[in-house]
Amino acid sequence: VQLAFCCRLSFVILQLFAIFAFATCGGYTGQLRVSVDCMEKASSNLSIGIDFGYPFRLHQVSFEAPACEATRRERVFLIGDYSSSAEFFVTIAVFAFLYSLVATVVYVFFLNKYREISRAPLIDFTVTVVFSFMWLVSSSAWAKALSDVKLATDPDEVQLLIPACKIQTNKCGSVHGARWSGVNTSVAFGFLNFVLWAGNIWFVFKETGWHKAVPFYPVNGTSASSTRAIRRR
């Protein structure tokens, strides 16, 4: 009973942390601002806002910057596509949430049937191991991608993409960068999910036949009949 309760509680916790992981990553939007101070002041724009967010296809994010030639504007695109790592991370989080939700329902309402089917605990154990590994892989990939996103959206790097900023008579600067506190927590939740799923392997393993069918071996050459006699005493 205690084991079943631990499994129920652990799967509920897994649901919550999976929600935190995909919500902090999939719901992220950020903005940075740069300034272009042209030699002709009338052409300047001292606050150019650039919005971006999940799934971080930065090469599709564009903004208009002054060309410092009368009122002409140029459309500039950011560089990079980090959607594969971000979407992979969110996909693992969503499927982990759904599986833990189903597992919770099974442990609460169908525990007896679950134990009657010999393959069910083995399948549960295998899926738990797979999700543990996938959390590690997806979190590592997303951590690397997020680092690249931060570099690609750094205002100092974005300035280099603006043609007018390459002219020495014009002055370009950073107004402010994007805020990363929210999306940083998604990486933390990702690795925390890995730890939780890896720890849950033990509880699921104890439901399998591998744990229950541990043979007893006689010690120091004692015969099986002698061992049984000792047990009866």
pLDDT for 207: 65
* pLDDT tens column, 150-166: 999 999 999 999 999 99
Q: What is the pLDDT of residue 224?
A: 45
Q: What is the model's pTM? A: 0.83
pLDDT (tens digit per residue) in 161-195: 999 999 999 999 999 999 999 999 999 999 999 99
60: how many CB neighbours lie within 10 A of its CB? 12
pLDDT, residue 1, reads: 44
pLDDT number for residue 8:
66
Name the stretches of the chain with pLDDT < 70: 1-8, 207-233
